[in-house]
Structure 1
Amino acid sequence: MLYNRDRATKYMQEAGISAIIATAPKSITYFSGYSWPLESSMRQYMFTPEASSELMFPGFVLIPVEGEPTLILGSRFAMNSDDVWIRDVRLFGDNFPFDLSMTPTGLDGMIGEVMRGNSYKTPVDALVDVMRERGLADGCRIGVEIEGMGDGGRLALANELPGATLLDCTKLIRLVRMVKTDAEIDRMRKAIEIAERAAIAAIEQAQPNGTLEAIEREYRVRLGEHCADFAAVQLAAGGVGLTTQPTYAPSGGEVIFTDWCAIYRNYWADIGMSFMFEAPPELVHKKDAALKACVAAGGRALQPGVKASEVFRVMCDALSEGGIEGNEPQGHGIGLDVREYPIIVPDRGGRIVDDCVDVSADFPLEANMLINLEIGHFLPGIGAIQNEQSFIVRPGGGELLIPYSRRSPVLAG
């Protein structure tokens, strides 16, 4: 199970809500384990031209404070839920038109359940029925994630449950997700290992004046060998800006900033490094060492109770000590999204607010947060240097998610 049940319960109790309704595809994966790669892309207007851009195949997960969760899913995707950890799965909507002329009798399991059909026309119908079964329909405060439920769904739910108080809990769910379970950390470690190896292999195969397309092709192949999905590769063109253009060809003497992203079983990997086709000059070595010291200093500061802004300050101080001024490091959580809470930035007095939470955006770190720290340095006409690594927040300081063994800059070819 991926989701942190104790943490979710704690947040619900503090907010005084009896249940959460997760609606966004990433949140449904988090709370149930269910995923369908095209879910976020399929919109209603793609099937009915005059319709809206709301999700074509919405689903929900109901997570009560007490009792087991329920996954609500379209009948056409029931077979994709065979390995979820939620036992109560409710199906809605029509399935494909079946030709039953050759169908054997006595089908059981999920196939039999799908063939028997269901009693719900819409996901809201199923959700309302479950909430009434659980005693959540009247006099209860219910958190609803608004990102995956369109206006029509929210209006229908409110009309069907006039006795319930429906509250936006979108940001509460983000706060729940920012501390990782052991299962998430294991999956993230695998994702980063695959991406790191694939990136190093792609760099080692690169040739002077070769194109980004050739580098990306090798990266895609190496990812595919381990069932990971390509997400992005970007370079810093000439040290003045980022590019994903396949025809870009870095010069032989350029120091090349690279950022590599991949997805393994729904979880993101995000890594950054530099490479060259020849031995780097002393100035590049010096600036690269300052960037490594910046990330290492930030990693040591990743301890429970330390605020995000303090980690940012420590990284800036390390840069200054290395002779680099006017550059700002970055840091962010990572998981089902490429950037999640916490965000490592200065304290600007902002707050994270919805109907269920109201907390400072500069919150103290907690054990088992997974945080990427990164810093890039741009040298127009020469290139750019990049260093990005993933850490787990631990009592004694950040623990590297994997043992990075790369040289810096990596020598290509």
Structure 2
Amino acid sequence: MRFDERQKKIRQYINDHNLDGLLVTHLPNIRYLTGFTGSAAMVLVTESETFFITDARYVTQAEREVRGRVVKVENTYPETVGETVTQARLRRVGFESPHMTHKQLRALFDRTPEPVLFVPTEGAVESLRMVKDPEEIQAIRRAVEMTSEVFEEFVQEIKPGVRERDLAVELEYRLRRRGADKLSFDIIIASGERSALPHGIASDKRIDRGFVVCDVGIVLDGYCSDMSRTVHVGNPDSRAREIYDIVLSAQLNCEQHLCGGMKSQAIDALTREVIAERGYGEYYAHGTGHGIGLEVHEAPRVSKTADGQVPAGAVITVEPGIYLPGWGGVRIEDVVVVTETGGEVLTPTPKDLMIL
């Protein structure tokens, strides 16, 4: 991964915002900048150096993994940050305001002598993470392909009488056995009327005739996947086929017409208008998608309320759905690389309605 290049861009951010340094505390951002895979650290990037601050549990790991000078925490993180800021003669230090609590910030203030000024910042690293480099896209592709392969082998386990919870456990077991580090979120298995719940985490309900929404993702080498497929147990009636076809048409319309530089709201409209035109707009209960990478939900958001554009190089989900309370629902989700001229769908699992 291109850690030196990423840190260089943060130094440009520091210069552009009249800062002497940036304190990074969000672990996915720390991994993005340094390669660190542990669970406790802070990173202080200055115009000339990167200080990697961690405690005794991770010093050896950090010395092996990270790009930057490793600073061991002797007492507390705020104290060590304060000492490092003082030694580096910094005066204006940015911090990630969405990722620090008031208590953490107060402790930092108390342990850093004046005249240091801590300046709130937002999105410095996330704006870089939005555009993936080729290595990141390959990492996401591997996670997506593993998820798809395992799901396609697993899907025949969906049978009448089996509990949703047991299916989720079996799917997770197969994914971990194949090599997944962990799940990127709790598996959704929602059947029958429960398929109308967009986030219907697997329950004790037993599979019966009707739709089953399956939404699953893994983390592999730090990068996430996310896919949804909806299958039907038993022969679907005309209404079920209609709903499924509308959702699939909406998704295909989006995947075929999105491109880099489009506004998030315009990409969302590519799914939303198809569903609305068929009379189901009020039953589309969420946005079209979200960015995916080191986190399963990250920038950019793709919804009717999202601001900004989706740049070429972003990797997003496209996941329209229709949810009819008391009846059921359908969602189909792919991971898509946004390019200058269109989109590359990474998810290989077929989308024709599967009847079990």
TM normalised by structure 1 equals 0.75
The answer on 1:234 being equivalent to 2:192 is: no
Say which of 290, 295, 298 aligns to 1:340: 298
Match of 1:365 in 2: 310
Give the Å deviation of 1:221: 2.0
Q: Is the 8 A contact 1:370 1:390 kept in 2?
A: yes
Give the Å deviation of 1:190: 1.6
Say which of 229, 232, 237 aligns to 1:273: 229
Partner Cα distance (1:222, 1:198) in 2: 7
Give the Å deviation of 1:245: 4.1
The answer on 1:405 being equivalent to 2:356 is: no
Alpha-carbon distance change, 292 to 11 in structure 1, aligned in 2, over 3 angstroms: farther
Q: 1:57-206, aligned counterparts within 5 Å?
A: 58-64=40-46, 66-93=47-74, 121-135=75-89, 137-138=90-91, 141-151=92-102, 153-159=104-110, 160-206=112-158
Q: 1:12-91, aligned counterparts within 5 Å?
A: 12-36=14-38, 39=39, 58-64=40-46, 66-91=47-72
Partner Cα distance (1:378, 1:216) in 2: 21
Q: 1:234-313, aligned counterparts within 5 Å?
A: 234-237=188-191, 238=193, 239-241=195-197, 242-251=199-208, 253-313=209-269
Aligned residues: 346
The answer on 1:331 being equivalent to 2:275 is: no
Q: 337-346 or 80-89: which moved more?
A: 80-89
One-letter amino acid of the structure 2 residue matched with residue 410 of structure 1:
M
Partner Cα distance (1:406, 1:327) in 2: 24
Give the Å deviation of 1:279: 4.2
Q: Is the 8 A contact 2:132 2:314 kept in 1?
A: yes
**1:81-140 CA distance string (max 9 Å, x none):** 2542314111123xxxxxxxxxxxxxxxxxxxxxxxxxxx332343334334444x23xx
TM normalised by structure 2 equals 0.86
Partner Cα distance (1:363, 1:187) in 2: 26
Point out the structure with the larger helix share.
2
In structure 2, the residue corresponding to 1:200 is in which secondary structure? helix
Alpha-carbon distance change, 226 to 90 in structure 1, aligned in 2, over 3 angstroms: farther
Q: Gaps spanning 5+ residues in structure 2: where?
A: none
Partner Cα distance (1:326, 1:151) in 2: 39
Q: Is the 8 A contact 2:290 2:299 kept in 1?
A: yes
Partner Cα distance (2:257, 2:13) in 1: 26
Q: Is the 8 A contact 1:287 1:322 kept in 2?
A: no
Alpha-carbon distance change, 154 to 198 in structure 1, aligned in 2, over 3 angstroms: same
**1:330-356 CA distance string (max 9 Å, x none):** 211122222112111224xxxxxxxxx
In structure 2, the residue corresponding to 1:232 is in which secondary structure? coil
Q: Gaps spanning 5+ residues in structure 1: where?
A: 40-57, 94-120, 348-360
Partner Cα distance (1:207, 1:298) in 2: 32
Match of 1:357 in 2: none
One-letter amino acid of the structure 1 residue matched with residue 173 of structure 2:
V
Give the Å deviation of 1:254: 0.6
Q: Percent sequence identity over matched residues?
A: 20
Partner Cα distance (1:407, 1:400) in 2: 12
Q: 151-160 or 210-219: which moved more?
A: 151-160
Larger gyration radius, structure 1 or structure 2? 1
Give the Å deviation of 1:315: 1.8
In structure 1, the residue corresponding to 2:131 is in which secondary structure? coil
Q: Is the 8 A contact 1:307 1:364 kept in 2?
A: yes
Q: 366-375 or 219-228: which moved more?
A: 219-228
Alpha-carbon distance change, 385 to 134 in structure 1, aligned in 2, over 3 angstroms: same
In structure 2, the residue corresponding to 1:255 is in which secondary structure? strand
In structure 2, the residue corresponding to 1:362 is in which secondary structure? coil
Q: Is the 8 A contact 1:20 1:143 kept in 2?
A: yes
Alpha-carbon distance change, 163 to 85 in structure 1, aligned in 2, over 3 angstroms: same
Partner Cα distance (2:248, 2:161) in 1: 27
Partner Cα distance (2:30, 2:149) in 1: 30
The answer on 1:218 being equivalent to 2:173 is: no
Q: Is the 8 A contact 2:213 2:331 kept in 1?
A: yes
